[in-house]
């Protein structure tokens, strides 16, 4: 069967881009830190890079270690066009963790930015397969650094990959189950795992998100988060491609530039994560706060100040629930005029089934907290979730049981089917025989008007099990003591949940995907006075 014949039944992002390049040639597809691209211009860049990938024999998986830039996204399309799989590496990985992520791909090639050569060299002794480097922005300094690595790499400038278009048709997979990309987990609880995401997953979730978030072809969809993350790829570039809309990817999230970027690009839809809305909300109010083109922000978690944020900035916020493994499977119904129950993420989308399970894997009734498990609704459409953790059979056996993906998240359903997220199962703290949700503690602490962000975590206790530790970031100009935090908690949570140790930080340590690194918090822990005993 020829590639063209296969492509008629199994589309890819590369074949869809080629269609959009014909139908939307002069419309902006992607706007990036260094350049803007029309659909036709982006397709030309992709064709050129795909030709180079073929010419240099980069088969299998094509790993990249790049900051947010147009080429980082173009390489996803180019790898798929050439019949390969894209593996964007987390730019925050270091040492053994970085080497593990590269080794997992099995590739002898790596496309790396010159600014990330130093961490690559630092991990060189742990690299198993890597032989050839294509360095973006290769200069004398990067060359000298690589020559001191103690490892003989073949080093070429990245632009060598940009060959003349060889005229080959986009490769199409044999089935929708064939992989398109690998997205790595943050690795906060162990070695990072690579989620293998199929062409069906990518195109399916791009369409689902576009539908539930009520996006349309005139939208400008904005993401300031890394291109190795779901939000920037499937959550932003995907819906733009699906609709023929425009995606905006900036270098990084900046609270001081956020609304400037929104207005500059004419952003109508953006996503949020972690404490980013809190940082935006904490900026001094301005009379023209609502004078911006945005109409919707979607993401997690929904802050307690939702109503004030919506009124102040003249837009709507929507929450959902999902993961890289599953995609977005729960979302607000934006057409439902009834108020969303406080704390709810929304209801399960029709493409999925969701259960709350006890420790023995049995379904729990409404109101009971247990592990969230999910699967596609159609038995023959299992590739609407990840295919599996790449080259990690033991992790797959643990995650996939009885036909369901076990998320490791805790949640509950009400009788109307609304989901309430209750934290991570592995984020529970064991104190005095009680299992405590760190998420519940954080919710209470963050309700204090002087608190920007908080993280609760368990630390070893002299009385066995764990003590409850808390790291807190307070607003500029505010003063707060550990005793005041503990007093705020008393009466708002069970006594055994009140933190034993409280420390104040300027910022919480984060992974590059904006998740709090509780591993680092535990490593930094110093027992403090003010016990709850």
How many residues does this entry show for the chain? 533
The domain made up of 3-184 is a member of CATH 3.40.50.980:
yes
How big is the chain by its Cα radius of gyration, in Å? 24
- Residue pair 376/352 in contact (Cβ under 8 Å)? The answer is yes
Q: How many CB atoms lie within 10 A of CB 443?
A: 19
Look up the pTM and report it.
Answer: 0.85
Domain boundaries, the chain: 3-184, 432-524
Cα separation, 393 vs 73, whole angstroms: 29
Domain 3-184 identical in fold to domain 432-524: no
459 backbone dihedrals φ, ψ, rounded to 5°: -130, 155
Output the tens digit of pLDDT for each of the chain's 533 residues: 333 333 345 789 999 999 999 999 999 999 999 999 999 999 999 999 999 999 999 989 999 999 999 999 999 999 999 999 999 998 888 888 889 999 999 999 999 999 999 999 989 999 999 999 999 999 999 999 998 887 889 999 999 999 889 999 999 888 889 999 999 986 544 568 999 999 999 999 999 999 999 999 999 999 999 999 999 999 999 999 999 999 999 999 999 999 999 999 999 999 998 778 988 999 999 999 999 999 999 998 888 899 999 999 999 999 999 999 999 999 999 988 777 888 899 999 999 999 999 989 999 999 999 999 999 999 889 999 999 999 999 999 999 999 999 999 999 999 999 999 988 777 778 786 666 878 879 988 998 999 999 999 999 887 667 899 999 999 999 999 999 999 999 878 778 889 999 999 999 998 766 788 888 898 888 766 444 43
CATH classification code of 432-524: 3.30.300.30
Tokens of 82: 């050439």
Strand segments, DSSP code E, in 126-268 are: 132-136, 154-157, 179-184, 194-198, 220-223, 246-249
- Residue pair 222/262 in contact (Cβ under 8 Å)? The answer is yes
> Which 3 state secondary structure label does DSSP give 247?
strand
């Amino acid at each position: 069967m020829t590639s063209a014949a296969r492509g008629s039944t199994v589309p890819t992002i590369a074949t869809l881009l080629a269609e959009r390049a014909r139908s939307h040639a002069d419309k902006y597809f992607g706007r990036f830190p260094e350049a803007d691209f029309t659909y036709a211009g982006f397709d030309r860049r992709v064709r050129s890079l795909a030709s180079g990938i073929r010419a240099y024999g980069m088969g299998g998986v094509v790993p990249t270690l790049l900051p947010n830039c147009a080429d980082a996204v173009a390489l996803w399309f180019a790898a798929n066009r050439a019949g390969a799989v894209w593996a964007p590496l987390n730019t925050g990985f270091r040492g053994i963790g970085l080497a593990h992520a590269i080794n997992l791909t099995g590739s002898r090639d790596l496309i790396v930015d010159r600014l990330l050569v130093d961490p690559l060299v630092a991990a060189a002794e742990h690299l198993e397969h890597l032989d050839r480097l294509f360095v973006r922005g290769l200069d004398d300094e990067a060359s000298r650094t690589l020559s001191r690595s103690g490892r003989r790499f073949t080093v070429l400038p990245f632009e060598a990959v940009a060959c003349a278009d060889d005229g080959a048709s986009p490769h199409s997979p044999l089935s929708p189950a064939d992989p398109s990309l690998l997205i790595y987990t943050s690795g906060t609880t162990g070695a990072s795992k690579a989620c293998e995401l199929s062409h069906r997953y990518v195109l399916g979730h791009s369409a689902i998100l576009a539908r539930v978030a009520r996006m349309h072809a005139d939208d400008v969809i904005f993401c300031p988060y890394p291109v190795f993350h779901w939000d920037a790829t499937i959550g932003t570039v995907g819906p733009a491609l699906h609709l023929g809309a425009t995606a905006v990817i900036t270098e990084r999230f900046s609270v001081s530039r956020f609304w400037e970027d929104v207005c500059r690009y004419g952003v109508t839809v953006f996503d949020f994560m972690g404490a980013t809305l809190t940082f935006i909300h904490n900026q001094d109010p301005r009379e023209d706060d609502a004078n911006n083109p945005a109409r919707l922000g979607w993401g997690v978690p929904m802050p307690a100040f939702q109503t004030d944020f919506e009124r102040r900035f003249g837009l709507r916020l929507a929450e959902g629930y999902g993961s890289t493994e599953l995609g977005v499977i729960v979302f607000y119904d934006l057409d439902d005029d009834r108020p969303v129950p406080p704390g709810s993420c929304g209801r399960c989308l029709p493409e999925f089934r969701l259960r709350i399970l006890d420790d023995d894997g049995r379904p729990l009734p409404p109101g009971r907290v247990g592990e969230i498990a999910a699967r596609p609704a159609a038995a023959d459409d299992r590739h609407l979730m990840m295919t599996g953790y790449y080259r990690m059979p033991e992790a797959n056996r643990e995650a996939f049981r009885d036909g369901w993906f076990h998320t490791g998240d805790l949640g509950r359903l009400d009788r109307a089917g609304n989901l309430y997220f209750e934290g991570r199962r592995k984020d529970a703290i064991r104190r005095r025989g009680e299992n405590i949700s760190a998420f519940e503690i954080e919710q209470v602490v963050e309700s204090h008007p002087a608190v920007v962000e908080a993280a609760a975590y368990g630390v070893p206790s002299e009385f066995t099990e764990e003590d409850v530790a808390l790291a807190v970031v307070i607003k500029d100009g505010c003063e707060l003591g550990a005793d005041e935090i503990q007093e705020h908690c008393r009466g708002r949570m069970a006594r055994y949940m009140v933190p034993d140790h409280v420390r104040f930080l300027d910022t919480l340590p984060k992974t590059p995907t904006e998740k709090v690194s509780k591993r680092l918090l535990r490593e930094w822990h110093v027992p403090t006075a003010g016990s709850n005993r």
